[in-house]
Structure 1
Amino acid sequence: MYFDIREPKNRPDATTVLLSAGLGGAAGYWAPQLAALRARYRVVAYDQGGTGRNSNAPAQDHSITAMADEAASVLDASGTDACHFIGHALGGLVGLELALARPERVRSLTIVNSWAAAHAHTRRCFEMRLALLKHEGPAAYARAQPIFLFPADWLARNAGRAAREEAHAITAFQGVDTLHRRIAALLAFDATARLANLGVPTLVVAARDDVLVPSLMSEQLAAAIPGSRLHVFPWGAHAVNITEPEAFNTLLLEFLDSHADRQSRPAAHH
Structure 2
Amino acid sequence: MPAAERDGAAIHYESHGAGPPILFSAGMGGSGGFWAPQVEELSRTHQVILYDHVGTGRSGRGAPPRDLAGMADDMAAVLDALGLESAHLVGHAIGGIVGAEFALRHPARTRSLTVVNGWARADDYLRRCFEVRQGILASQGPRAYVRAQPIFLFPPQWIAEHTAHLEEDEAKILAHFPGAELMNHRIGMFLGFDGRATLGAIRAPTLIAISQDDALVPAYLGRALAALIPGAVVREVAHGAHAFTAVTPSVFNAMLREFLDTI
TM-score by length of 2: 0.93
Give CA deviations for 1:44-82 in whole Å, capped at 9, x if unaligned: 11010011111244535x421111111111111111111
Mapped pair 1:208 → 2:212: yes
Alignment of 1:170-185 (within 5 A): 170-185=174-189
Measured at CA, do residues 185 and 58 of structure 1 come closer, stay the same or move farther in structure 2, by a change above 3 Å?
farther
Mapped pair 1:120 → 2:124: yes
Instruction: Determine helix, strand or coil for the equivalent of 2:197.
Output: helix
Other-structure match for 1:102: 106
Aligned length: 253
Other-structure match for 2:84: 80
Other-structure match for 1:43: 48
Q: Distance in 2 between matches of 1:102 and 1:198?
A: 10
Measured at CA, do residues 119 and 57 of structure 1 come closer, stay the same or move farther in structure 2, by a change above 3 Å?
farther
Letter in 2 for 1:243: V
Do the aligned residues in 2 keep the contact of 1:63 with 1:186 (CA within 8 Å)?
no
Give CA deviations for 1:213-265 in whole Å, capped at 9, x if unaligned: 01101111111211110011111000010001111111111111221xxxxxx
Q: Distance in 2 between matches of 1:58 and 1:206?
A: 33
- What stretches of structure 2 of length at least 5 have no aligned partner? 1-10
Question: Could you tell me how far 1:197 is from its partner in structure 2?
Answer: 1.3
Q: Distance in 2 between matches of 1:208 and 1:7?
A: 32
Q: Distance in 1 between matches of 2:174 and 2:61?
A: 19
Do the aligned residues in 1 keep the contact of 2:61 with 2:178 (CA within 8 Å)?
no
TM-score by length of 1: 0.91
Other-structure match for 2:227: 223
Other-structure match for 1:233: 237
Other-structure match for 1:2: 12
Do the aligned residues in 1 keep the contact of 2:211 with 2:238 (CA within 8 Å)?
yes
Do the aligned residues in 2 keep the contact of 1:4 with 1:44 (CA within 8 Å)?
yes
Give CA deviations for 1:118-144 in whole Å, capped at 9, x if unaligned: 121111111111111011011100110
Alignment of 1:134-153 (within 5 A): 134-153=138-157
Do the aligned residues in 1 keep the contact of 2:17 with 2:45 (CA within 8 Å)?
no
Question: Could you tell me how far 1:42 is from its partner in structure 2?
Answer: 1.1
Question: Could you tell me how far 1:116 is from its partner in structure 2?
Answer: 0.8
Q: Distance in 2 between matches of 1:66 and 1:185?
A: 12
Letter in 2 for 1:175: G
- What stretches of structure 1 of length at least 5 have no aligned partner? 9-13, 260-270
Match 2:23 to one of 1, 4, 18: 18
Q: Distance in 1 between matches of 2:137 and 2:217?
A: 20
Identity in percent: 43
Q: Distance in 2 between matches of 1:16 and 1:142?
A: 32
Q: Distance in 2 between matches of 1:93 and 1:201?
A: 15
Q: Distance in 1 between matches of 2:64 and 2:185?
A: 8
Match 2:58 to one of 53, 67, 77: 53
Could you list the runs of 4 or more consecutive aligned residues of structure 1 that deviate by over 2 angstroms after TM superposition?
55-60
